[in-house]
Structure 1
Amino acid sequence: MKNYIQRYLHDWLAFNRIYEQLATRNDLSFAELSVLLALEDHNYCATNRQLVQDTGLSKQTISSLVQKMVRNDLMSLTLNPNDKRSKLVRLTTRGQEWANQILGDVHRFETKTMSSLGAEKTRQLNGLNEELLKRMEEEVQK
């Protein structure tokens, strides 16, 4: 089992390096790309708390990245109507164009490489990942 776990960790780190390269190719940090992907998952409207939960980045890191993107007119912060204590992070029009370009590049890469596996292997991979994540989340909560 130890060898399988080492292989899994090696692969996990390799996937992170690949996404780091995709980020760098688009003049972003891995953290910035992670925030964009998380925002996309929430239809480009999320709280800092959601971004922290989805990316695993610290509150401070998310806050400073969002503030940087607000200063660059890529994101805006608005009061959350459901919870006045928090703000919603949204992309500006300029930010949406910027994100579409970057995420388009990332998703073309993902589609090309995942398609090479075929639909059935990709479905199996997703199923195994889902099962492993569920078990890991349950175990880490103990």
Structure 2
Amino acid sequence: MENELKRYTADWIAFNHVYDQLIAKNRLTSSLLYVFIVFENHDFKLPLTCLIKETGLPKQTVTSIVNKLSREEKIMTLPDPTDKRSKILYLNEVGQEQARTVLVELRTKELKAAQALGIEKLRLLNDLNEEMLTNLKGQVEE
């Protein structure tokens, strides 16, 4: 069992390395990629608190990224119409274009890899990853 766990960890590191190559190629950071993925999942608009929670990044890191995108005029911050104390972040057309460029490349490469694996194996992989993640979270939270 221990050797299989070591392989699992080594594979996790290898996956990160592959994603890091794409990130470097597109002159991004992994944190910015996470931000773009979460924005994409929310049609490019969401509250800051949601962005922080879903990226899993520290508040300071997300705030720094949002400020950088704001300086680059890729993001707008507007009052939340349902709660005037909160802010909604909108990735504008320029920001969306940057996000889509890297995410289309990422999704295209992931799709090709997944097609080589096949849908049944991909479903099994996703199910097993979900189960492992649930179990691991339980162990960490103890």
Partner of 2:69: 69
Cα deviation, residue 22, structure 1 = 0.9
Once the two structures are TM-superposed, the CA of residue 140 in structure 1 deviates from its matched residue by: 2.8
CA RMSD across the alignment: 1.5
- Is the CA contact (8 Å cut-off) linking 1:48 and 1:59 kept in structure 2? no
| Moved >4 Å (runs of 4+) | none
Once residues 59 and 84 of structure 1 are traced to their aligned partners in structure 2, the CA distance between those partners, rounded to angstroms, is: 21
Residue aligning to 2:90: 90
Distance 2:28 2:120 in 1: 33
Aligned amino acid, residue 134 of structure 1: T
Percent of aligned positions that are identical: 39
Displacement of 1:50 after TM fit? 1.9
Contact 1:46 1:88 in 2 (8 A): yes
Tell me what 1:7 maps to: 7
Which stretches in structure 1 are left out of the alignment for 5+ residues? none
Distance 1:82 1:9 in 2: 43
> Could you say what secondary structure the match of 2:117 adopts?
coil
Q: Which amino acid aligns with 2:133?
A: L
State the shift of 1:29 in Å. Answer: 1.0
What's the TM-score, normalizing by structure 1?
Answer: 0.91
- Cα deviation for residue 2 of structure 1 reads 1.8
CA gap 1:83/1:141 in 2 versus in 1, 3 angstroms:
farther
1:23–1:29 contact (8 Å) kept in structure 2: yes
Superimposed CA distance per residue, residues 3-24 of structure 1 (whole angstroms, 9 cap, x where no aligned partner): 2221111111111111111111
* Paired positions, count: 142
**RCO higher in structure (CA 8 A, sep ≥6):** 2
CA distance in 1, matches of 2:34, 2:83: 24
**3-state secondary structure, aligned to 1:43:** coil
Contact in 2 for aligned 1:74/1:94 (Cα 8 Å):
yes
List per-residue Cα deviations over 1:36-66 (Å, max 9, x = no partner).
Answer: 0111122212222222222221100000001
Superposed CA offset, 1:89-130 (max 9, x none): 221011122222121111111111111101111010011111
Shift of 1:71: 1.0
CA contact (8 A) 1:79 1:87 kept: yes
Any idea what SS the aligned residue of 1:95 has?
helix
- Kindly tell me: are residues 82 and 6 of structure 1, through their superposed partners in 2, closer, same or farther at Cα, counting changes over 3 Å? farther
Structure 2: which amino acid aligns with 1:104? Answer: V
Structure 2: unaligned runs, 5 residues or longer: none
- C-alpha distance in 2 between matches for 1:46 and 1:93: 15
Counterparts of 1:1-142 in structure 2, within 5 Å, are 1-142=1-142
